Homo-oligomer: A and B are copies of this chain.
Amino acid sequence: MALINRLDSRDPGFKSALSKLLAFEATEDESIDRAAAGILADVRARGDAALVEYTQRFDRMPGVSAEALEIPKADWHAALAALPAAQRNALEAAADRVRGYHERQRVETWTYTEPDGTMLGQQVTPLDRVGLYVPGGKAAYPSSVLMNAIPAKVAGVQDLIMVTPTPDGVRNPIVLAAAAIGGVDRVFAIGGAQAVGALAYGTATVPAVDKIVGPGNAYVAAAKRRVFGVVGIDMIAGPSEILVICDGKTPADWIAMDLFSQAEHDELAQSILLCPDAAFIEEVQAAIERLLPTMPRADILRVSLANRGALIQVRSLEEACQIANDIAPEHLEISTEQPEKWTAQIRHAGAIFMGRFSSEALGDYCAGPNHVLPTSRTARFSSPLGVYDFQKRSSLIQVSHQGAQQLGRIAAELALGEGLQAHAASAQYRIDKP
What is A's interface to B at a CB cutoff of 8 Å? Answer: 26, 86-87, 90-91, 93-94, 101, 104-105, 110, 112, 118-120, 122-123, 125, 127-128, 138, 141-143, 174, 210-211, 229, 231-232, 236, 251, 253-254, 257-258, 260-261, 263-265, 295-297, 301, 332, 339-340, 343, 346-370, 373, 376, 378-384, 386, 388, 392-401, 403-404, 407-415, 417-427, 429-430
**How many identical subunits does the complex contain?**
2
Inter-subunit contact A397/B364 (CB<8 Å): no
Q: Using Cβ atoms and an 8 Å threshold, which residues of chain B touch A351?
A: 394-397
Inter-subunit contact A366/B260 (CB<8 Å): no
Partner of A379, one of B261, B346, B394: B394
Q: Using Cβ atoms and an 8 Å threshold, which residues of chain B touch A232?
A: 378, 380-382
Inter-subunit contact B354/A396 (CB<8 Å): yes
Q: 19 A–B contact pairs at CB < 8 A?
A: A26-B229, A87-B414, A123-B343, A125-B348, A143-B418, A251-B429, A254-B429, A260-B422, A260-B426, A264-B422, A297-B422, A352-B397, A353-B397, A359-B399, A360-B426, A365-B410, A369-B397, A370-B395, A384-B395
Partner of A365, one of B138, B263, B414: B414
Of all chain B residues, which has the CB nearest A118?
Answer: B367
Q: Using Cβ atoms and an 8 Å threshold, which residues of chain B touch A91?
A: 414
Partner of A398, one of B296, B339, B415: B339
Q: Using Cβ atoms and an 8 Å threshold, which residues of chain B touch A105?
A: 122
Inter-subunit contact B417/A174 (CB<8 Å): yes
Partner of A125, one of B295, B339, B347, B354: B347
Inter-subunit contact B297/A366 (CB<8 Å): no
Inter-subunit contact B381/A392 (CB<8 Å): yes
Q: Using Cβ atoms and an 8 Å threshold, which residues of chain B touch A423?
A: 261, 264, 361, 364-365
Q: How far is the CB of A259 from chain B (nearest CB, A)?
A: 9
Closest 3 CB pairs between A and B?
Answer: A232-B381, A369-B395, A260-B422
Inter-subunit contact B430/A359 (CB<8 Å): yes
Inter-subunit contact B404/A357 (CB<8 Å): yes
Q: Using Cβ atoms and an 8 Å threshold, which residues of chain B touch A260?
A: 422, 425-426
Of all chain B residues, which has the CB nearest A376?
Answer: B229
Inter-subunit contact A429/B253 (CB<8 Å): yes
